[in-house]
């Protein structure tokens, strides 16, 4: 019962003044895939995420998720359609506890209305109990339950990254966009993260698009990889194909003598 | 005795408005410097309805609330899109405009001389009951999905949007609730005082209200309630000849002290709960007992 989404990006372009941050990019992501996006700084990777999640409106082109066009919808509509993301610079609800962070993210599936919430109808209690159980299950499944009542800003860096992913998972996403999840992690933590990303793909049945600079991580877990450079797509394929692509080696990995 | 009951009644009335501002500032993250304007709208609409149609208070007050919410939402739709500081400036203007409008249509509002002969039907028990209901309402709101979404907006708008919260709508909800409570407070005030004049609703009043919220702790309902219980009747305690003049200075000094010693207010963002009190005593006194048994 996979609900993982297929993503089709068609001719996507974003222009900032005279700069083409994303230049006619097309790519296909299969359902349930872990899809890597790599490229030097400024290659347009995060802009791509912002285009998918509706923070930017593309100058040209469109994004289809499961065949439906999401381009032009507002960010919260896109998020409620099951497209979750994490941020390059962690954006948690800092003053809230881990548990509250995850519970808040369940908001789309909570069905009581304003009045029912303020009057505490039985529906309120039913729904609240349900999402609290769900939040607990998510935090337990990724080993954060031990810190569930701590303020999220007080967590160590690695756990904050994990919590951000947990918050995204609480939205029952079909597509999860991870923006440099291993940034600032040491080798040990990065290795753990690889297993963790695979675990959430299998357990939560999501398609994952992953921006990363840690080549080991990308090569290890990605089913397919796209390489960006200066807003253009340089190459795409499996890890081996990318590693052996002379263009990529020249532009990104460095020329091997 | 009646004097002190009066003080408590007025405290309760202002507390309702402060609760409203707490929802907007403490739990949605928007600063407003003009909420005295919404209290003014609530009180004048309520008083005029009550006087013109000789209507009882329970008709006038909802009219006042509706007026305040309507104006608040209409103003909110364009201004809530403004980023932080600009919204503050916009509200500052709105507060002054309301005051000036009231001053300059004397045919309706009595102008600067004020509006008199409003039936004095607000009583202490009534204010007490409404106050409790408002606290319960705000508490229930904050622990519901919509309240949580507001807090998420306060914490991080971009992240709130990314988890599917309609930020603009959420801010409008915060604005509507705060204006509604301010309108309610204004209506009660009109019927308590029996007269209204525009200088009751100056920017200084707005500042006083928002300062109470900040001193209590943005994001703490308990803090808001405690702060309003202390700060609103403070001028009455300082009613000796010279002290009255120094009231705002004292406020300033208090703010400075809070900023230095408790940057997030009396209560920060913590709430007083039975569970919390229990835990506090357990940590204080239970540890020794537990330690004794355990080790």
pTM above 0.80, yes or no: yes
Tokens of A182: 């291993």
Kindly list the strands in the beta sheet with A232-237, ordered across the sheet, starting from the edge strand earlier in the chain: A83-85, A175-179, A207-211, A34-38, A224-229, A232-237
pLDDT tens digit string along B83-115? 778 888 989 999 999 999 999 998 888 888 899
Q: Is A32 left (phi over 0), alpha (psi -120 to 50) or beta?
A: left
β-pairing verdict for A19-29 and A34-38: unpaired
Q: Is A136 left (phi over 0), alpha (psi -120 to 50) or beta?
A: alpha
Nearest Cα residue to B20 out of B265, B187, B184 = B184
| DSSP string of A188-231, one letter each residue | HHHHHHHHHHHHHHHHHT-EEEEE-S-HHHHHHH-SEEEEEETT
User: How many interface pairs between A and B have CB atoms less than 8 angstroms apart?
Assistant: 85
The whole-angstrom separation of Cα A115 and Cα A119 is 6
Is the CB of B155 less than 8 angstroms away from the CB of A95?
Answer: yes
B2-293 classified as CATH 1.20.120: no
Tokens of B176: 């509507």
- A205 min Cα distance to partner chain B (Å): 18
Give backbone dihedrals phi and psi of A79, rounded to 5 degrees, phi first. -60, -45
> In 10 A of CB A142, how many CB atoms?
17
A contact test, residue of B150, B159, B171, B172 with most A CBs within 10 A: B159
Contacts of A84 in chain B (CB under 8 A): 162-163
Number of H helices, E strands in chain B: 16, 0
| B204 Cβ under 8 Å from any chain A Cβ | no
Q: Which residue of A has its CA nearest to B164?
A: A76
Q: Which residue of B has its CA nearest to A131?
A: B145
Q: What is the pLDDT along chain A (257 residues), one digit of tens a residue?
A: 357 788 999 999 999 988 889 999 999 999 999 999 998 888 889 999 999 999 999 999 999 999 899 999 999 999 999 999 999 999 999 999 999 999 999 999 998 999 998 889 999 999 999 999 999 999 998 889 999 999 999 999 888 999 999 999 999 999 999 999 988 888 888 888 899 999 999 998 999 999 998 888 888 899 999 998 888 888 888 888 888 888 887 776 565 55
The domain spans of chain B are 2-293
| B170 Cβ under 8 Å from any chain A Cβ | no
């Amino acid at each position: 019962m996979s609900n993982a989404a297929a993503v089709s990006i068609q001719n996507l372009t974003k222009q900032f003044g005279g700069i083409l941050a994303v230049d006619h990019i097309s790519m296909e992501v299969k359902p349930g895939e872990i899809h890597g996006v790599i490229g030097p700084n400024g290659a347009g990777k995060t802009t791509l995420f912002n285009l998918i999640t509706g923070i930017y409106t593309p100058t040209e082109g469109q994004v289809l998720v499961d065949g439906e066009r999401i381009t032009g919808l507002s960010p919260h509509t896109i998020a409620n359609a099951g497209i979750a993301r994490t941020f390059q610079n962690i954006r948690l609800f800092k003053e809230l506890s881990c548990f509250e962070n995850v519970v808040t993210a369940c908001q789309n599936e909570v069905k009581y209305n304003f009045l029912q919430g303020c009057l505490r109808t039985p529906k309120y209690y039913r729904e609240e109990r349900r999402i609290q159980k769900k939040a607990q299950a998510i935090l337990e499944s990724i080993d954060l339950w031990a810190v569930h009542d701590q303020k999220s800003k007080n967590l160590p860096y690695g756990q904050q990254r994990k919590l951000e992913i947990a918050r995204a998972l609480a939205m029952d996403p079909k597509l999860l966009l991870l923006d440099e999840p291993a940034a600032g992690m040491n080798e040990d933590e990065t290795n753990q993260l690889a297993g963790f990303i695979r675990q959430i793909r299998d357990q939560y049945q999501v398609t994952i698009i992953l921006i990363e600079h840690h080549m080991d991580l990308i090569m290890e877990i990605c089913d397919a990889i796209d390489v960006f450079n200066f807003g253009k797509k340089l190459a795409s394929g499996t890890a081996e194909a990318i590693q052996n692509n002379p263009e990529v080696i020249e532009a990104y990995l460095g020329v091997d003598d | 005795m009646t004097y002190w009951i009066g003080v408590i009644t007025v405290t309760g009335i202002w507390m309702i408005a402060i609760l409203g501002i707490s929802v907007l500032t403490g739990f949605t993250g928007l600063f407003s410097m003009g909420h005295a304007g919404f209290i003014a709208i609530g009180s004048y609409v309520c008083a005029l309805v009550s006087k013109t149609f000789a209507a009882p208070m329970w008709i006038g007050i909802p009219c006042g609330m509706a007026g305040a919410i309507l104006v608040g939402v209409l103003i909110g739709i364009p201004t809530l899109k403004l980023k932080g500081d600009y919204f503050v400036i916009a509200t500052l203007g709105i507060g002054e405009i309301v005051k000036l409008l009231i001053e300059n249509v004397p045919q309706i509002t009595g102008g600067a001389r004020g509006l008199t002969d409003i039936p004095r039907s607000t009583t202490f028990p009534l204010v007490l009951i409404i106050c409790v209901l408002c606290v319960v309402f705000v508490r229930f709101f904050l622990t519901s999905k919509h309240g949580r979404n507001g807090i998420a907006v306060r914490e991080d708008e971009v992240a709130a949007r990314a988890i599917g919260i309609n930020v603009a709508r959420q801010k409008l909800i915060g604005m509507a609730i705060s204006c509604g409570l301010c309108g309610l407070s204004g209506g009660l005030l009109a019927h308590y005082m029996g007269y209204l004049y525009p200088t009751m609703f100056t920017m200084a009043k707005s500042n006083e209200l928002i300062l109470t919220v900040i001193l209590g702790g943005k994001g703490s309902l308990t803090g808001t309630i405690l702060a309003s219980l202390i700060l609103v009747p403070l001028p009455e305690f300082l009613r000796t000849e010279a002290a009255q003049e120094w009231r705002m200075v004292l406020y300033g000094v208090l703010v400075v002290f809070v900023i230095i010693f408790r940057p997030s207010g009396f209560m920060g963002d913590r709430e007083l709960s039975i569970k919390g009190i229990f835990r506090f005593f357990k940590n204080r006194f239970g540890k020794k007992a537990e330690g004794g048994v355990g080790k």
